[in-house]
């Protein structure tokens, strides 16, 4: 069996209000991992961003209604970049609010990676 390795991941629609250590271990094993998450609302939504703290340092983060934003620095070369995980609402009336959230993060003058489910 081939094993894959990754330094950062976004999990969409986690459906989890709380992410405990035991859940994190069940998902990623005992490898070093840190995470930040937007809790689900009941059984809907939820975002988890997980990263390897031996590779990336979290410099800043923001959690909004439909997104999680992280500013990372690579420990190898001090390269700073941003990651936004989005899980959009199914309600068309809330779509404008969804697109306003990432714009508020862009004030950090760094390269960006945006991923997720916009439900658009």
| CATH number for the domain harbouring residue 47 | 3.60.10.10
Per the structure, the count of domains in the chain is: 1
Would you state the structure tokens that stand for residue 7, as one six-digit string?
A: 């330094």
What is the model's pTM?
Answer: 0.83
Q: What residues have CB less than 8 Å from 112, skipping those under 6 apart?
A: 81, 82, 83, 84, 105, 106
Residue 94: strand, helix, or coil: helix
39 within some domain: yes
47 within some domain: yes
Residues 106 and 110: their CA atoms lie apart, in Å, by 8
74 within some domain: yes
Residuewise pLDDT in 10s, the chain (120 residues): 446 667 888 888 777 666 666 776 677 676 778 889 888 877 778 888 989 999 999 999 999 988 999 999 999 999 999 999 988 887 877 877 777 887 777 777 899 998 888 877
How long a stretch of residues is the chain? 120
- Identify the bridge partners of residue 63 per DSSP, sorted by sequence position: 68
Domain that holds residue 50: 8-117
1 within some domain: no
Nearest to 108 by CA among 78, 69, 75, 76: 69
32 within some domain: yes
104 within some domain: yes
3 within some domain: no
Q: Is residue 49 a contact partner of residue 31, using CB atoms and an 8 Å limit?
A: no
CA 11, 16, 20, 23 torsion-angle sign? negative
2 within some domain: no
CA 72 to chain centre: 11
């Amino acid at each position: 069996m081939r094993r894959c390795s990754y330094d950062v991941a976004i999990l969409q629609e986690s459906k989890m209000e709380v992410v405990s250590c035991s859940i994190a271990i069940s998902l990623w094993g005992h490898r070093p991992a840190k995470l930040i998450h937007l809790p689900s609302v009941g059984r809907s939504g939820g975002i988890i961003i997980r990263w390897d703290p031996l590779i990336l340092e979290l410099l800043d983060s923001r959690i909004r209604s439909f997104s999680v934003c992280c500013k990372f620095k690579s420990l190898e070369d001090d390269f700073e970049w941003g990651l936004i995980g989005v899980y959009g609402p199914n309600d068309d009336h809330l779509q404008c609010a969804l697109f306003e959230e990432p714009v508020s993060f862009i004030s950090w003058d760094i390269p960006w990676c945006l991923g997720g489910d916009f439900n658009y």
